Chains A and B, each alone.
Chain A
Amino acid sequence: MSDDPRPQEGESEIYSHDEATNVVAPSGHEGEVLDEDKAKAYWQANIALVLKLLAVWFLASFGAGILLGPVLDGFHLFGFKLGFWFAQQGSIYIFVALIFIYVWRMKKLEARFGLDDSPEEGAVK
């Protein structure tokens, strides 16, 4: 990663640029060059997924927990008013689920673009 031929101007006492020293573990994709269109497609798919998940995140917490709380309180889940349950329990379970869905969907997405970072799978490819 140190073959950057660009002049290091602006490097004096104002700003010094260091190459990273905590690089991620080898993935079998080192040295590969990704064309810009493919990188763009991957990034857009990622953004689309993140936006969908964040919409659920917002609906579960700010929606069901706060804004719609009084309406949902008309329904009951065992001894809980539903709005209260979302505010103190349900939203947290949904948060956990969202992160694992994200992990799973990103794994699929990265496999599709040949970008997954598990060395075993990278070696097969």
Chain B
Amino acid sequence: MSVQFLTYLFVGLTFSLYIGIAIWSRAGTTKEFYVAGGGVPPLLNGMATAADWMSAASFLSMAGIIAFMGRDGMVYLMGWTGGYVLLALLLAPYLRKFGEFTVPDFVGERYYSSAARVVAVVCLIFVSFTYVAGQMRGVGIVFSQFLNIDITYGVMVGMGVVFIYAVLGGMKGITYTQVAQYCVLIFAFLVPAIFISIMMTGNPVPQLGFGSALSDGSGMYLLDKLDHVLVDLGFAEYTAGQKSTIDVFAITAALMVGTAGLPHVIVRFFTVPKVSDARLSAGYALVFIALLYTTAPAVAAFARANFVSEIHNSQYTEVPEWFQSWEDVGLLAWSDKNGDGVIQYGPGNAFSPAKPQFVEGRGAHGERLLANGATSSVNEVYVDRDIMVLANPEIARLPNWVIALVAAGGLAAALSTAAGLLLVISTSVSHDLMRKTFMPSITDKQELLYARCAAAVAIVIAGLFGIFPPAFVAQVVAFAFGLAAASFFPAILMGIFYKRMNREGAIAGMVSGLTFTFLYIVWFKFVSPETNSADHWLFGISPEGIGTVGMVLNFAVAFTVARFTAPPPDHVQDLVDDIRIPTGARVAHKH
């Protein structure tokens, strides 16, 4: 059976499964729509959280990025997992005890202020839309690459599916589809990884194969060989870092803290029955996430080693078939700069501009012709980083059904994250803006209707972002984590652990952390991108890591302002006492 037929089959089957689950788990009340009725078992919530968290980028791009960053890829690996420790120990159990529906809810109640609530809603919408735009684009790319469907139609199909289960089922529908999507995506990620690990090292566990000797008879460890080969080609060692220590430190911290402050992740812990379940499900979530996150660096090393050994110094006419098939898609390009018919791979951009601009026709060896000019480097190859995951099944010569599985897995990762983000956007509009701020008299039924309408509108906007991607999407990912780190995390943390923190301090902290982080990123990414280098950065910290400084600023401003303004009212102090106790028992107060 052809790859295309199998891909249609797998994608069709998984989509029917998601829609079936949506119909089975319709939401009837706002509580079901917002938090799945608060009755999701911790294990299932852990799976749903993992799917919610792992996006198209984690599934399709992360291993490829690590393959080219080498050791520095640790900022993503530690940053995107370490945040769960903060979430489990510092936030999730208390927010669950608080017992409301959204993150702005907590900020608004704890800081007894509609202004704080609205600031939180604005941050939430900004962070979530930044993130969702990439997901919808991911859906479109998978459709266009695996099914030869135009990106526009691909995005529309994705929108349709999310529409059905998010608008109909709300959090309840999303939760159970995310459980199914987790199973699909992890299976699709692990199968090729296991096979490629066996192929290269003979060890079926990628996490161990990564540190094993190669099975090519040389007896050399994979990582040692990779270091050697890359250094010979003029690259840096794979296992040595290139970024400065302070920048690695700041980026890792910003990603960790940002992860713990992302509303669509936090809200998942509102869906379990008890406080102890919130802790436990954070543990399960990290197990499920770690399964992919410890496999990804192994895949990265395998893929890089494999790519170099199969491509470099090979006759173009004799390279494996996958090279040409991904060249056809546009993710690989080769230009025979020195006219010897042999592919030379090395550091630096092969062409200028760096991205290939294909023109009609084929060259002397059958390669696609390019309009790009050649650079002076010996490198003749353009590689899109996503290829490291997408082409893995073919590189490992796996059967067609595995390739189809990767397509279904990529879609599952993108859709599950998109749905979670769209839900927090819609609930923050219907609950925090409508019910709690502007129209307090609406009934539960009306609120539910508003929630569904808001979800529908959010899906359409997200889809438009996917079809007409704003040029800045790739550049603004730093925003989502930086802003979450500089705004939500400090506000929530101080709300739980520092009873004296008041409205004035929290708002001043959030606004200054946000403004600083926002302006720093805008300056280096948009206003003055030519100065975006370590010489000009504050303390040598890149825009990706600046959220850490924004967070410190938030804390400093909040503490200072709170010291000089009135303490929070008694009922808010009582609220803090209550959320610190895991059960329904109340604390006797001696005010």
Contact = CB atoms under 8 A, between A and B. Distances in A.
Given A95-B82, A95-B286, A89 B294 contact: yes
Contacts of A77: 211
Contacts of A2: none
Interface string A86-113: 0111011101101110110011001000
A73 B223 CA distance: 13
Interface in B61-88: 66, 71, 73-74, 77-78, 81-82, 84-86, 88
A25 B280 CA distance: 15
Contact of B282 (A30, A50, A62, A99): A99
Contact of A62 (B211, B241, B252, B283): B252
Interface in B542-591: 569-571, 577, 580-590
Interface residues of A, number: 70
B126 interface: no
Nearest to A47: B497
Given A24-B96, A25-B274, A88-B77, A79 B213 contact: yes
Contacts of A54: 85, 89
Given A27-B584, A115-B585, A15 B279 contact: no
B314 interface: no
B279 A102 contact: yes
A48 interface: no
A83 B451 CA distance: 48
B207 A89 contact: yes
B84 A21 contact: no
B585 A29 contact: yes
Contacts of A22: 31, 34-35, 38, 99-101, 270
A100 B274 CA distance: 16
B479 to A, nearest CB: 23
B404 interface: no
A21 B584 CA distance: 13
Interface string B425-441: 00000000000100010
B213 A6 contact: no
Contact of B283 (A26, A103, A117, A122): A103
Which range holds the interface residue count of chain B? Answer: 35 or more
Contacts of A6: 570-571
Contacts of A122: 583
Contacts of A47: 497
A30 B584 contact: yes
A66 B585 contact: no
Given A78-B212, A88-B297, A67 B252 contact: no
B74 A24 contact: no
Nearest to A107: B276
Interface in A22-61: 22-36, 39, 42-43, 46-47, 50, 53-54, 57, 61
A117 B582 contact: yes
A39 B580 contact: yes
A102 B88 contact: yes
Interface in B210-259: 210-213, 221-224, 239, 241, 245, 248-249, 252-253, 256
Contacts of B293: 92
B394 interface: no
A99 B286 contact: yes
Contacts of A98: 85, 89
B440 A78 contact: no
A110 B280 CA distance: 14
Interface in B269-289: 270, 273-276, 279-280, 282-283, 286-287
A99 B211 contact: no
A115 B585 CA distance: 8
A31 B96 CA distance: 19
A54 to B, nearest CB: 7
Given A79-B223, A95-B82, A96-B287, A21 B588 contact: no
B82 A79 contact: no
A17 B112 CA distance: 8
Contact of B586 (A14, A17, A34): A34
Contacts of B309: none
B88 A39 contact: no
B494 to A, nearest CB: 14
Contacts of A32: 583-586
B239 A99 contact: no
A61 B252 contact: yes
A75 B372 CA distance: 46
Contacts of A29: 583-585
Interface string B297-308: 100000000000
B90 interface: yes
B102 to A, nearest CB: 10
B283 A115 contact: no
B109 interface: yes
30 contacts: A13-B114, A15-B114, A16-B114, A16-B436, A21-B99, A22-B100, A27-B582, A30-B585, A33-B588, A35-B587, A36-B590, A54-B85, A54-B89, A57-B82, A57-B85, A61-B82, A65-B74, A79-B210, A79-B223, A91-B78, A92-B290, A92-B293, A95-B290, A96-B286, A103-B88, A107-B276, A117-B274, A117-B582, A117-B583, A122-B583
Q: Ordered nearest first, which 5 A-B pairs have the shortest CB separation? A: A79-B221, A20-B99, A87-B74, A25-B273, A29-B583
Given A30-B584, A36-B589, A95-B286, 5 more contacts: A14-B114, A23-B584, A32-B583, A93-B290, A96-B286
